[in-house]
Amino acid sequence: MIRNPVPWPDGARCAVCFTFDMDAESILKLAHPQRAHSMVSTASMLRYGPDVAVPRILDSYRHYGIRQTFFVPAWCAERYPRAVEAMIHEGHEVSAHGYVHEHPNELSDEDERRWLQRSLSALRAVSGEPAAGWRAPLYNFSHRSAELLLEAGVQYDASLMGDDVPYLLHTPRGRLLELPSHWAMDDWPPFMHSIDLNFQMPIQSPAGAWSTWWDEFEAMWEFGGLWIPVWHPFLSGRLARWRMSHTMIGRMLDRGGVWFAPMRDIAAHIKRCIDDGSWSPRIESQPHGPE
């Protein structure tokens, strides 16, 4: 069903990377610049991410011996350096996710470039290494983003939804690797509910949410795809939800044929496959011209 399934390492059936976007209070600060400081309960919900959930998530990854990827707004890295240092110390990837979760497609040309550069340099100052990848806050990738990311030396993007397997964004400046996901893999629809953040959903049980994610996993496993959940520590790192995810990681490992890797390793593998001719990606022009 996938026209160009990827030859994953060691004959694996699919690649898996749990990606956590550690947004913490950046989203509250962005939505309510004047009032965020007085929205104490919502702030506490968001701070649960770096303070409680990240150590828990790292414990599970250590238990199973897997390394994964965190996308962190640089403002959050500056505010929660210990969480970022723990991710790096344990061999996980920390990649970029804006400065204070600003939306690139709502910025001017000059502002998008300036905020991208600021987010990359400020994140690097905390993590100690350049970010290999980027996810646009709230998937708000602009018509300029691919070229700006190439200009900044970013290796891959993880904001788009255009395929089941990696693909290339062709721009006048060169080609950027896209590692796609989609909304069904995001934990906001099943778990997010916040009146202050204007997002109200009927909250699902962990099993209900996992039923969708497991269906996606089965399909990717069968056809050679890429399974990338887009999760948030303050949502999926909550106790009952992460307890279930801990169990499900074990189930995936027991199934076999699953390559768990940080996004930067998946990107490096894909680039090797393209270079040695063992795999050909679909190529999409970016930006798309007028219809």
Output 23 or 163, the one with its CB closest to Zn ion. 23
Residue 23 binds Zn ion (CB under 5 A): yes
Residue closest to Zn ion (Cβ): 21
Looking at 21-29, 153-161, 235-243, 282-290, which segment touches Zn ion (CB under 5 A)? 21-29
Quote the least distance from Cβ 124 to Zn ion, whole Å: 19
Quote the least distance from Cβ 134 to Zn ion, whole Å: 12
Compute CA distances 78 → 40, 85, 157, 161, 182, whole Å: 20, 11, 23, 30, 29
Quote the least distance from Cβ 229 to Zn ion, whole Å: 13
Output 21 or 178, the one with its CB closest to Zn ion. 21
Output 263 or 273, the one with its CB closest to Zn ion. 263
Q: How far apart are CA 193 and CA 185, in angstroms?
A: 17
Task: Output the six-digit token pair for 200.
Answer: 């109200």
Q: How far apart are CA 99 and CA 74, in angstroms?
A: 5
Looking at 22-30, 48-56, 114-122, 201-209, which segment touches Zn ion (CB under 5 A)? 22-30
Residues from 94 through 153 that contact Zn ion (CB under 5 A): 137
Output 75 or 167, the one with its CB closest to Zn ion. 75
Total residues in contact with Zn ion, by rule CB under 5 A: 3
Contacts (Cβ under 8 Å, ≥6 apart) of 89: none
CB burial of 125-154 (b: ≥16 within 10 Å; e: otherwise) equals: ebbeeebbbbbbbbbbbbebbbbbbbebeb
Output 21 or 187, the one with its CB closest to Zn ion. 21
Looking at 2-10, 16-24, 252-260, 272-280, which segment touches Zn ion (CB under 5 A)? 16-24
- Order of strands across the sheet that contains 14-16: 226-227, 14-16, 258-260
Q: How far apart are CA 137 and CA 97, in angstroms?
A: 6
Quote the least distance from Cβ 138 to Zn ion, whole Å: 6
Output 145 or 171, the one with its CB closest to Zn ion. 145
Task: Output the six-digit token pair for 254.
Answer: 């027991």
**Beta-carbon neighbour count of residue 56 at 10 Å?**
15
For binding to Zn ion (CB under 5 A), which residues are involved? 21, 23, 137
